[in-house]
Amino acid sequence: MHSYALHGVHGRALPVGTGVKMARPDIEVMVAGGDGDGYSIGAGHFVHAVRRNVDMTYVVMDNRIYGLTKGQASPTSREDFETSTSPEGPKQPPVNPHALALASGATFIAQSFSSDALRHQEIIQEAIEHDGFGFVNVYSPCVTFNDVDTYDYFRDSLVDLKESDHDPTDREDAKDVILDNEKEHQGVIYRDESSVPYHEQHGVDEDMSVIPDGAPESATDLVREFY
């Protein structure tokens, strides 16, 4: 199969991306998802892809709502966000994806805003160039079902870390930004410059994408032993 992209199952994009990177460690791998699949049904995959430090870029389009299924509360929805299925709000605190990533051992954490195209491009490029798991959460407002976290809200609220004295290589600085619930941030939050990606740690450097015809002889022998 020759392709520049493929679709996986909802919530399972990261295992697919991991498999591609292990089979072809020479190529750049990018995985795209949303807050609904990435931080709920796919949360377990997120934690393990982060801690393994697989050398790929994970871009999560976070609109704080399940948009495609007509507006249910997502893992990042506000505690009092009213929807048709939660008229009094979900009544539970939203997932903090940056905190989850940092606690899982992330080596690159960033936040961007879909409406700020040039800045978004810069941040994505930094994530791609990072040696290891590059995680970028992207504020992507849903104009249909979320009238709280709007484009205007983010334009008025965002603080660009590039214009502050924030040091992305300082883990404590990153922790302070991540746990600051009073502000919305944009930029690279944390970057571990000593990061060693998973495939290098384990000596995976060959193209394993071509599978020879027929079962390996060792597998055939094993089957014969039991049957």
Q: Looking at the predicted structure, is the pLDDT value of residue 3 above 90? A: no
Mean pLDDT along residues 108-113:
98
In a domain, residue 5? The reply is no
| Domain membership flag for residue 6 | no
Asked if the model's pLDDT at residue 57 lies above 80, the reply is yes
Question: Is residue 3 domain-resident?
Answer: no
Give me the number of domains the chain comprises.
Answer: 1
Classify residue 125: in a domain, yes or no: yes
Q: What is the average pLDDT value for the chain, to the nearest integer?
A: 93
Q: What is the pLDDT of residue 51?
A: 97
Residue 195 DSSP class = -
CA 34 to each of CA 6, 48, 85, 97, 200: distance values in angstroms, whole numbers, following the listed order: 16, 17, 20, 11, 28
- Supply the pLDDT for residue 213: 74
Taking residues 153-170, what's their average pLDDT? 96
Name which residue leads in pLDDT, 225 or 105: 105
| 170-195 average pLDDT score | 96
What is the arithmetic mean of pLDDT over 30-35?
Answer: 96
The answer to whether residues 174 and 190 touch, using CB atoms and an 8 Å cutoff, is: yes
| Residue at 7 is within a domain | no
Residue at 104 is within a domain: yes
pTM value? 0.91
- CB neighbour list of residue 154: distance below 8 Å, 6 or more residues apart: 113, 115, 139, 141, 184
What is the domain extent for residue 76?
A: 13-226
Does 87 map to a domain? yes
pLDDT band, very low/low/confident/very high, at 225 (cuts 50, 70, 90): confident
Taking alpha carbons only, the member of 191, 189, 140 closest to residue 164 is 189
Q: Does residue 126 fall inside a structural domain? A: yes
**Residue 202's CATH number:** 3.40.50
Local confidence band at 1 (pLDDT 50, 70, 90 cut-offs): low
Identify the CA nearest to 107 among candidates 88, 69, 135. 135
Q: Provide DSSP, 61-129.
A: EE-SSBTTTTSB--TTS-TT---SS-TT---SPPP-HHHHHHHTT-SEEEEEETT-HHHHHHHHHHHHH
